[in-house]
Structure 1
């Protein structure tokens, strides 16, 4: 696994695009702080930059570097949940402008996938994680379902977990203006 992490970090440091396994489905990823790299992801997915992308961080500490105000309620929720949980936060800082939605929000998840956590930790910055499909097409549940156009468009494909099938998607929650949390997808 360490060899794959080392190769992947080099790709991310060069503003290149990675195809990698996550705690949900295979993801297309890049440095979430690089406008240039994020633009490449939107082009690969044939997706408008007005749509948002999910960002992965390795810990609550990293999350707090990019979302300065996180309520204790959110921290407790993240500590207790066992299901992949993506939360939409308001007013992030330090991320590429094209990963932040028009309403000044960003979707962030702390993955429970060992490879992802070690990769993000080694890279030292958040990474983009968007499903490995062209926008509008079905989300692949395994590596072998990923479209050839996606495989041909990325700079590196992680050589781990290629036989696994993963049908789970993350719960999506949103922090609203008054601090309450609403469920967008269970």
Structure 2
């Protein structure tokens, strides 16, 4: 795993795109603070920039650098849930403009995958995580289901968990301006 983290770090530090296993499905990722790197992901996915992307962080502490206000209720939820949970937050800061939705929100998950946690901790910044497919196509459940066009478009493919099959997506919650939480996907 150490060599894969090293190779992945080099990829991220050069504003390049990574194909990697997450706590849900295989993801395409890059430095979430780099507009040029994020633009590459939109191009690979053939997706309009108006559709936002999920961001991964390694901890509540990192999350607090990019989301100005997080209620104690959300912190408690994040520190007690065992299911991958993505939350849409209002008014993020410090992220690439093209990862923030038109309504000034961003979807962020504290990742529960050891490889991702270590990579993000060493990188020191959040990374993008969007499913490894062309927009509109089926989400691959394993590495072998990833489309050839995706495999050929990324700069580095992590050589871990390639036999694993994962059919679960994260739960998606949205925090309203008043603090109310709604479930968008279970």
Q: CA deviation at 1:44?
A: 0.1
Per the alignment, residue 106 of structure 1 pairs with: 106
Q: Which runs of 4+ in 1 moved over 4 A?
A: none
Per the alignment, residue 130 of structure 2 pairs with: 130
**SS where residue 121 of structure 1 aligns?**
helix
Per the alignment, residue 97 of structure 1 pairs with: 97
**SS where residue 9 of structure 2 aligns?**
helix
Per the alignment, residue 41 of structure 1 pairs with: 41
Q: CA deviation at 1:68?
A: 1.3
Could you tell me the TM-score, scaled by structure 2's length? 1.00
Per the alignment, residue 68 of structure 2 pairs with: 68
**SS where residue 137 of structure 1 aligns?**
coil
Inter-partner Cα distance in structure 2 for 1:177 and 1:66: 16
Inter-partner Cα distance in structure 2 for 1:2 and 1:33: 24
Could you tell me the TM-score, scaled by structure 1's length? 1.00
Inter-partner Cα distance in structure 1 for 2:185 and 2:112: 19
Inter-partner Cα distance in structure 2 for 1:80 and 1:119: 22
**CA-based RMSD:** 0.3
Per the alignment, residue 141 of structure 2 pairs with: 141
Q: CA deviation at 1:80?
A: 1.2
Which stretches in structure 1 are left out of the alignment for 5+ residues?
none
